Amino acid sequence: MNWPADYHLHTPLCRHAKGEPGEYAARALALGLDEIGFSDHSPMKRDNFDNWRMRFDQLDEYVAKVRQAQKAFPALSIKLGLEVDFLPGHEDWIQDLARRHPWDYFIGSVHYVAESWALDNPEDIRKWAERDPIEVWSVYFERLGLAAESKLFDIIGHADLPKKFGIYPKQDVTPLFERFLQKAARSGVAVELNTAGLRKVCREIYPSRAFLDLAARHKIPITFGSDAHAPEEVGSDFAAALDLARAAGYTETWRFNQRERVKRRL
């Protein structure tokens, strides 16, 4: 089987994942993957911003861990990435992070729809009840569009994340998808098929078939990611992700090396 690269893997440095990079790599080899990439949650400028990411002083340790796995698994291509939170106003910080190491790619993810609310945080799920879902989805996709336009990222992470807990607006969200995809098309950023959604209440890959059909029409490149927070999650449901990509008309995926991309047939 010719599997796509799994570009969305975490490490214990983010404080909510388990297993060292070497264990993720061993799992990938056992599954027959030929390329993976680590993309742990990026540090924020302030270490007390939240409690689910590495501290700034752990960034070098993170890179060293990935380098160590590269040395231990020469048969596997292992890329150095980062899942970077996009918040308006954090652009300078993200540029600063980009200059610190020879990254292969940055995944830009929107989790925060307000300065202190990450909409996917189970500890803050009650905040959903205080707002109309369409408001949350709208702010989210507005920010996702800014992330695409910022040119700070190679890949946009879990594009329809607000569906995680199965809370959907009663309104049609197609215009939100469409506005984001127009911006993504102009910027050239890729979108990932993230299989973690299958493990959440929404029971669906991020993004949905409807979103991906529109993305294909806009010729948005795609990558694949399990968003593994444990070694056994590497490559999970990649067969389903491949089926989804093909159903939407995709025949290619992208691979990244030092922030340059090359096409691969699916």
Q: Smallest distance from the beta carbon of 147 to Zn ion, in angstroms? A: 13
Nearer to Fe ion, 20 or 213 (CB): 20
Chain residue whose CB lies nearest Zn ion: 227
Residues in contact with Fe ion by CB under 5 A are 83, 109, 227
Q: Smallest distance from the beta carbon of 172 to Fe ion, in angstroms? A: 25
Strand partners of residue 27: none
Site string for Zn ion, 199-228 (x = CB under 5 A): ----------------------------x-
How far, CA to CA in Å, does 183 sit from each of 89, 110, 134, 163? Answer: 19, 15, 20, 21
Q: Smallest distance from the beta carbon of 74 to Fe ion, in angstroms? A: 26
Give the end-to-end CA distance of the chain in Å, rounded to a whole number. 11
Q: Smallest distance from the beta carbon of 185 to Fe ion, in angstroms? A: 22
35 binds, among Zn ion, Fe ion, none (CB under 5 to 8 A by kind): none
Q: What is the DSSP letter of 151?
A: T
Cβ-based neighbour number of residue 99 at 10 Å? 8
> Among residues 198, 188, 124, which one has the least CA distance to residue 164?
198
Nearer to Zn ion, 227 or 233 (CB): 227
Nearer to Zn ion, 15 or 246 (CB): 15
Q: Residue 211, exposed/middle/buried by CB under 10 A (0-12, 13-18, 19+)?
A: buried
Backbone angles phi, psi at 52, to 5 degrees: -130, 45
237 binds, among Fe ion, Zn ion, none (CB under 5 to 8 A by kind): none
Residue type, position 98, single letter: A
Binding stretches for Zn ion (CB under 5 A)? 227
